[in-house]
Amino acid sequence: MSIEKNIVAIGGGGFGRITKEKKIERYILSLSNKDKPNICFIPTATGDNDAYKVNYYDVFTKFNCNPTHIDFFKRTMDLSSHISKQDIVFVGGGNTKSMLAVWRDWGLDNILQEAYNSGVVMSGVSAGAICWFEKGITDSWADDLAVMECMGFVDGICCPHYDEEPERRPFVKKVLENNTIDHCLGVEGNCALHMKDGVPFKAINFGSNKNSYMVTHTEGDVLEKSFERIDI
What would the mean pLDDT of 51-77 be, rounded to a whole number? 96
Instruction: Indicate which residue of 32, 69, 123, 126 is catalytic.
Output: 126
Q: Is residue 219 part of a domain?
A: yes
The model carries a pTM of 0.96
pLDDT digits (tens, 9 = 90+) for 71-116: 999 999 999 999 999 999 999 999 999 999 999 999 999 999 999 9
Q: Could you give the count of Cα atoms lying within 13 Å of 50 in the half-sphere of its Cβ?
A: 1
Q: Can you give the CATH number for the domain in which 58 is found?
A: 3.40.50.880
Q: Is residue 232 part of a domain?
A: no
Cα–Cα distance for residue pair 13/16, rounded to 1 Å:
7
Q: Residue 66 belongs to what domain range? A: 6-227
Which residue, 141, 183, 137, 143, is CA-closest to 164?
137
Q: Is residue 99 part of a domain?
A: yes
Q: Is residue 29 part of a domain?
A: yes
* Number of domains forming the structure of the chain: 1
Q: Is residue 185 part of a domain?
A: yes
Q: Is residue 173 part of a domain?
A: yes
Q: Is residue 182 part of a domain?
A: yes
In the residue annotation, 126 being an active-site residue is answered as yes
Instruction: Indicate which residue of 32, 69, 123, 161 is catalytic.
Output: 161
pLDDT digits (tens, 9 = 90+) for 169-213: 999 999 999 989 999 999 999 999 999 999 999 999 998 899 999
Q: Is residue 1 part of a domain?
A: no
